[in-house]
Structure 1
Amino acid sequence: MPTLRALECFVATVETGSITGAAAKLHLSQPALSHQIAMLENELGSPLLERLPRGVRPTSAGREALPSARAALDAADRVVQAGRAALDEGELRIGCAGSMTAGLLAPLLRNWRRRHRKIRLVLQERSSADELAAMVTNDEIDVAICPRPTRWDGALELLASEEVVIVFATDDPLGDQPGPVPISALHGYPVIQYAGPHGLAGWLDGLFREHQVSPEVVIRTRQTTTAPALAAAGLGAAVVPVSGIPAGFTGSVHRLDPPQARDVVALMAGRSDVLVQQFVGSLRETGLRIPAAVLRQLEARTDGARSGR
């Protein structure tokens, strides 16, 4: 039986008159959209689109199937809208990068629960954006909050840009300076790295390669929030997103030179789920909260560096 996604791709291609336009409209890659249409044509046993030098047009079979495809999509949308609007109950499955739970989700969830008491929230935390993206694709979760994954063909909303900083123990000699820490200073320096599939492991390796830096990796961790704790204990420096620094952190926090940041995004299979859209909108409004003590440290060190010039 044809999937709603395949029907949506077919209708969008007819309405826009091109694979490129339909892919942009549905926030899909062109190969992913073409694959959906090919699956639909195989299911129906007939070509639905005629490829032209510029764009596409429906075949006779495509024109015959188009009204029914639109009707099926309209019916599915009415089911979703009626279910959400009339009942406002059910389950919202959220996936989140572990470091972002406290800084992004926690401030929102209390107020969200007050407004949606009949909605059951299910939270799953992971350390890899690619793993969270796969969970959305496989319908294991409704929305993922994470950095940008390596590849994503579904809907995406930019929520924030998060600064990536470096932390030390208070008596660490490299951390005992007023301004940003040059990435080049980490060459041969003891650092805490992330393990295996953790998304930051590959990101950091790329950063070090870009700046031709080879630090001494003293330990690896799978947990973002563990890295600053190990740094504060004196094991070495840790490069960490600000959302991964816990409140009450006892070490020193510095910006990097050049400064580093990563996008925080929401990944969704599509944009038709009203509840998911409301949740993502609330996240965007709430924003990413940085612990006040961390923010004060960063601002004080920046001001100190300026006054020392």
Structure 2
Amino acid sequence: MDVTERQLRAFIAVCDEGSITRAAARLFVSQPTLSRQLVALEQALGVALVERLPRSTRPTTAGRTLLDTARAVVAAHDDLVRTARTVTSGAVGELRVGTLYSLSLGILPAILADWRSQHPRVQAELHEFRHQEELVAGLLAGAFDLAIGPVPEGWTGGRSRLVEEEFVVVLSGADRRTPDGPLDLADLRDDDWVHFTPGNGLGELLDAACARAGFIPRAALRTEQARAAVEYALHGLGHTLVPRNIVPPQVAAHALREPVRRDISVYWRGATDPLIRSLLASVTTSGR
């Protein structure tokens, strides 16, 4: 059975107008075209839908029975078309975003707020990870639509750079130093540090920065969260190294003489879809 939306519209118009002539005018088609559509529908359904009278038409008992269903099908078709247009414009839908814990507290809130201010009918579902390897594995497995974080080496999918993230030292609350310029990490070699749990990418970054300065940081405490590390540092448990964008404005954040930075990008598998394009456009227009 092959029933088309045009055939249903022809049937509805003939029932509403009581005339093939008026129905054809309403649909802006010729009378022969409308008649063929109506006959094709009757043949597909195996039943006469309209009784042809000398000066008018009227639905048969079968036609009256099927008319409401035909209207519902046409209305559903129209609703599908309207929804598809909003989806393809990136104005509606749900985008699944994978990211790192530190970015959820740093740059991501502002990015998503800007995006939703321009597209209030979109939604985001966040998947947060401790380490870049977990983030990349989730993206490749299809757990979410795009990732926001450092682009892995050898990435062959799509990408768009967002921002360069700078790391700063928050000194221990027990430390009485008041630096008036960038810090040398080597000067902190003998101090305690608020470190990160094994497998956390921030911990690997701290270890690498300290290794370049010639020492291994002595961990007084390890935590999962960058924002928690700041609080532990302020309470005197040790220094910590975190992204500048997660440090509260009232807290002193000290730059390093040898800067520690990482590029943050949006990256995805395959081709972009409308929601990804809308997010990228939002990031571009917001100046990030």
* Distance in structure 2 (CA, Å) of the matches to 1:287 and 1:136: 26
Quick check: 1:163 aligned with 2:186?
no
Quick check: 1:269 aligned with 2:272?
no
Encode CA deviations 1:136-174: one digit per residue, 9 max, x unaligned.
11111111111233553322221111111100145513x
1:127 Cα offset (Å): 2.0
**Corresponding residue number in structure 2 for 1:200:** 202
Structure 2 residue ranges without an equivalent (≥5) = 1-83
Encode CA deviations 1:97-118: one digit per residue, 9 max, x unaligned.
2222243222233343243333
**Identity within the alignment, %:** 29
Task: Provide closer, same or farther for how the CA distance between residues 222 and 287 of structure 1 changes in structure 2, counting only shifts above 3 A.
Answer: farther
Task: Provide closer, same or farther for how the CA distance between residues 144 and 247 of structure 1 changes in structure 2, counting only shifts above 3 A.
Answer: farther
* Distance in structure 2 (CA, Å) of the matches to 1:285 and 1:261: 24
Give the aligned residue type for 2:179: Q
1:189 Cα offset (Å): 1.4
Map 1:28-177 to 2 at 5 A: 84-85=87-88, 88-149=91-152, 152-173=155-176, 175-177=177-179
Structure 1 residue ranges without an equivalent (≥5) = 1-80, 289-309
Asked whether the equivalents of residues 100 and 146 of structure 1 are also in contact (C-alpha less than 8 Å), the reply is yes
Which residue, 183, 189, 207 being the options, matches 1:181?
183
**Corresponding residue number in structure 1 for 2:243:** 241
Give the aligned residue type for 1:257: R
1:216 Cα offset (Å): 1.7
1:119 Cα offset (Å): 2.4
Asked whether the equivalents of residues 130 and 151 of structure 1 are also in contact (C-alpha less than 8 Å), the reply is no
Deviates more, 1:157-166 or 1:111-120: 111-120
**Corresponding residue number in structure 2 for 1:220:** 222
TM-score scaled by length of structure 2: 0.64
* Distance in structure 2 (CA, Å) of the matches to 1:167 and 1:86: 44
* Distance in structure 1 (CA, Å) of the matches to 2:210 and 2:124: 39
**Corresponding residue number in structure 2 for 1:34:** none
Aligned residues: 205
* Distance in structure 1 (CA, Å) of the matches to 2:281 and 2:133: 23
* Distance in structure 2 (CA, Å) of the matches to 1:283 and 1:198: 27
Paired residue secondary structure (2:253): strand
**Corresponding residue number in structure 2 for 1:258:** 258
Stretches of 4+ aligned residues off by more than 6 angstroms:
none
**Corresponding residue number in structure 2 for 1:282:** 282
Larger Rg: 2
Give the aligned residue type for 2:96: R
**Corresponding residue number in structure 1 for 2:31:** none
Task: Provide closer, same or farther for how the CA distance between residues 110 and 272 of structure 1 changes in structure 2, counting only shifts above 3 A.
Answer: closer
Task: Provide closer, same or farther for how the CA distance between residues 171 and 205 of structure 1 changes in structure 2, counting only shifts above 3 A.
Answer: closer
